[in-house]
Every structure is written in structure tokens, then in C-alpha cells.
Amino acid sequence: MYHDLREWLVEVEKLGQLKKVSGAHWDLEMGALTQLAHERYGDKTPALLFDDIPDYPEGYRALYGHFSTLERIALTLGLPQGLSKVGLVLAYQEKMAHLKPVAPVWVKEGSVLDNVHTGDDIDVLEFPVPRHHERDCGRYIGTASLVITQDPEEGWFNLGTYRSKVYDGRTVGCQITEGKHGRIHRDKYFERDEAMKVAIVVGQDPLLYLLGASPVPYGVSEYEYAGAIRGEPVKVVKGVYSGFPVPADAEIVIEGDSVKGDVLEEGPFGEWTGYYCSKPVNRPCVRVKAIMHRNSPILCNAPQHRPVDETVMLKAVTSSAAIGESLRLAGIPEVRGVWQHEGGMGVRFTVISIKQRYSGHARQVLHVASSCQAAAYNGKWTVVVDEDIDPSNITQVLWAITTRFDPVEDIDIIRKAWSSARDPMVLPEAGNVNNRVLIDACIPYGRLLKGEFPPVVAVSPELTKRLTKKWEGIVL
């Protein structure tokens, strides 16, 4: 596998999926071009590496679109190319089920220490920090970032992806939703009236970014998962201010303190749901104490917009695998595939295919899948279908819903589930919760057992095999 962001970019270029863009401006152009590219190319959108950015030194670059394609996700995870959506999910789930965490290793030197700024030398706007959307309240340095925090009681480190607005050269934001691991850490510090040290990494190994934006169990550091996936420990150096383990080959690391009561207005910002949902709110900020960065640093970005954006595929693959693993650990048999659909921003429309084995099997899947950690936050629709339906094929899923689902018998509602202000239909008066739908689109089990459901019009496997051999390259 590659070992850092720059090696990853070399491999992406070999795949023919890297587009270098020269001269785009940090104010709106980079973010808007990324959105327009995704609207045009969808899940074939190349990664965009912006260079020669106006107002900034030569060599200061910005990367967008890490995970817009399955091929780049597979590359990042060390999995084979050419897998289908469900195939990639199953391969990742299998890999994660047998991982043994590998702790990071401390080293004394790292390229992130090429440049160290403290005191009056600190200026976050040294980097080409973008304003992504026309209605955004300002420039955001953290969108494809790793926010490193430490649990004050247990000592473990969490790496989460939380957005960071730039207020000035020495002050940034750190918006963390309730329930996220970094927020739990911060709440613990503030309950003690203690400042929380934080390290914000805004250019890093894409594997760490992928894991930071993925459901990893509470109490386990993403560093340990990354080491297990790679087969070797992640190299870390001591942050010059925080003392935290920061990636030795990170592009940019910003360290500082977050203090209870030290708040600044944050938002609005174009959200991952595709809307401007949050009104300006006073949120804890970070007072910057040190900056470390490589020579010719690459600032990583992930602007959010209506589907499909560059994080949808990341969410779909990693969360689908985590849901599949939760179903396995719950002892539920015969789960054939899971997919969280791109139109649902990768988390709000989950489909699970199963081979029905007993009465209530489908309902059991629905309730476990919708409530497990990977799907609980901001979920909306959970659908279960039979094994003949590809859960990643929305046309097949809609066919199942329109022909195997009864709106009286086959629907359940979960009320007051974990949500956030990012949901346009959130119920803030009830505490930022939402209601969600469970759809049983499987053939009714009793009719399936008796063979009473109409047979599907399909080409048999035997005939498919014979015709494929005969007509491949001509018709098929």
C-alpha cells in the first residue's frame, strides 16, 4: 500500500483519476468547480488537485474529491479493484471483522516538522483556505480533516472529522455534533472546567481521513484500525504544543486549546444534507498555539452539497460495512448485502438484502439495522428486500417496494431517534431528534413458504450461462 497522501496521489494518477487544475481561486471557484464536476460525472468524478492558487506561494495546493469513486476507496483500503458496490462493502466488512488493532509507533522525525510556527509566526491563512459556497459564512480550513482529541478519563485518542471555520489567523472553529466521540471528550473537559487540547490535521493519509469519518467503536483509536488495515503501525510524532500523536507525514497540523465559554458565532455552512440548515450559533472555538506543516503543503477539502458529493461514497461503503457487521454480531443470519444509497447522502436510505429463514426475520433486520451505531445518527429510511434484489440498484429496490410491500402491514415508524440540526426535518422542540421509516419489502414469509407468490420473470442461471458463452462480445 501507499504510505502517505503524496504516494496515494501517485496511485490515483495511475488509475487515471487525478485531474490537476491550475489557477482556480480559493474564493468560491475551487468549491464550486468540485460541485459542478460531481453533478456532471457522478461516481466517475476524478480527484481534483488545485495548484497555482491566486494569492498563495507556488507549491501550496488544495485537494478535493478523495472518495468520489469505488476505485479510490478500494485503493485506500488495500482492496481489489473492480468490485461492485455490495462486493466492496462485503470485502471491507470481512477485513474489519478479522482486524487486530495495531497501535501507532512514535518516531522522532517526520516531514510534518519541516516547518513549525509558534507565537507571532502563527497564521492559519498561510494556507489557501477556501470559501466553498456562496452563502457560507466564511472560509473553512477543516472539512476533510482529522480532529484529534484525548479522553480525559481513559486516555485514548479519537480522530474525528469535524468542520473548522477560520475567524482570523490565530482562531478557528471546531463544530462537533452531540454524541460524536470528540464531542463527548470536549463535554468531559468542560464539565471539569478544564481546557481541551486539540490537534486539527488538514492534510493526511486518506486512510486516516476515511476512518475519521467512519463509525469506529468508542474507546478505540482510528490509528489502531489504520495500522491493522495497512499491516504496519502508523508513524506519529509528538505535537509541539499538545504532545498528542500526530501523523509524522501529515501535510498540515494546527494545535490549540478549546476553553469552556470561549465561543464565537459559527454558520451557516452548506451541510452534508444538501441544505443550509443551521442558523448562526455561538460555538466553542480553538485558539491556535502552534502550526506544523510540510514543505509545499497540500490542504485537503471536502465541501458538502446536494447529492452526489465527494463523501457520499465514503459514507456508503464504510457505514454499510459497519451495519452488516452489527447484524452479524447480533446473530442475524443470511444477510446478503447492505448499501446506503447515494441519494440519501450515504446514511439516510439504507437497504439490506436477506434470504428469509423464519417469521419476523425481515423485521428483526430492520430494527437492528436502523438502531445500530453506524445507522443511528440522522437515519431516515431503512428497507429490507429479498436476496434476488441488489440493494445497491435503486431500480430493483423500487420494484420490490412497489410489488412486495403493503403500506398497512409492512411499515414501522421509529419516533424521536438521534438526529441533529443538519436534518431539514429535525424536531428541535423534542431535542434535535427525528422520526424514521422501516420498510419491509420482502415477499410475505407465509406466501413464500407456500409458493403462493407470483414467480418472477427472469432468465434462469443455466440459460444465462449458455447465452453468455454463445453471444458474449456480440450482444452481451
411 CB-near residues (< 8 Å, 6+ apart): 405, 437, 438, 439, 440
Please choose, from the candidates 218, 212, 287, the residue with its C-alpha nearest in 3D space to the C-alpha of residue 250: 212
For the CA atoms of 24, 27, 28, 34, what is the dihedral angle to 10 degrees?
A: 40
Give CA–CA dist 457/463, Å, rounded.
Answer: 13
Of 13, 109, 131, which is closest to residue 62 (Cα–Cα)? 131
- Specify whether the CB–CB gap between 18 and 298 falls below 8 A: no
Q: How far apart are CA 18 and CA 48, in angstroms?
A: 6
Which residues are 117's β-sheet partners? 291
Alpha-carbon distance of 443 to 228, in angstroms, equals 40
d(CA 331, CA 204): 37
The pTM assigned to this predicted structure is 0.91
What distance lies between CA 184 and its chain's CA centroid?
19
Q: d(Cα 354, Cα 352) in Å, to the nearest integer?
A: 7
Q: What ranges do the domains of the chain cover?
A: 5-301, 312-450
Nearest CA to 309 among 49, 104, 65, 16? Answer: 65
Question: 5-301, what's its fold?
Answer: Pnp Oxidase; Chain A (2.30.110)
For residue 112, is the peptide bond before it cis, meaning its omega torsion is within 30 degrees of 0? no
Q: Which residues does residue 306 pair with via DSSP β-bridges, in sequence order?
A: none
463 Cβ contact partners less than 8 Å away, ≥ 6 residues apart: none
Q: What are phi and psi of 198, to 5 degrees?
A: -145, 145
Taking the C-alpha atoms of residue 296 and residue 112, their distance in angstroms, rounded to an integer, is 11
Of 3.40.50.720, 3.40.50.300, 2.60.40.10, 3.40.1670.10, which CATH number belongs to 312-450?
Answer: 3.40.1670.10
List the chain pLDDT tens, one digit each, 476 residues.
798 999 999 999 999 999 999 999 999 999 999 999 999 998 899 999 999 999 999 999 999 999 999 999 999 999 999 999 999 999 999 998 888 999 999 999 999 999 999 999 999 999 999 999 999 999 999 999 999 999 999 999 999 999 999 999 999 999 998 889 999 999 999 999 999 999 999 999 999 999 998 888 888 899 999 999 999 999 999 999 999 999 999 999 999 999 999 999 999 998 878 888 878 999 999 999 999 999 999 999 998 888 888 788 888 999 999 999 999 999 999 999 999 998 887 778 999 999 999 999 999 999 999 999 888 888 899 999 999 999 999 999 999 999 999 999 999 999 998 887 778 888 887 778 989 999 999 999 999 999 999 999 999 999 999 999 999 999 88
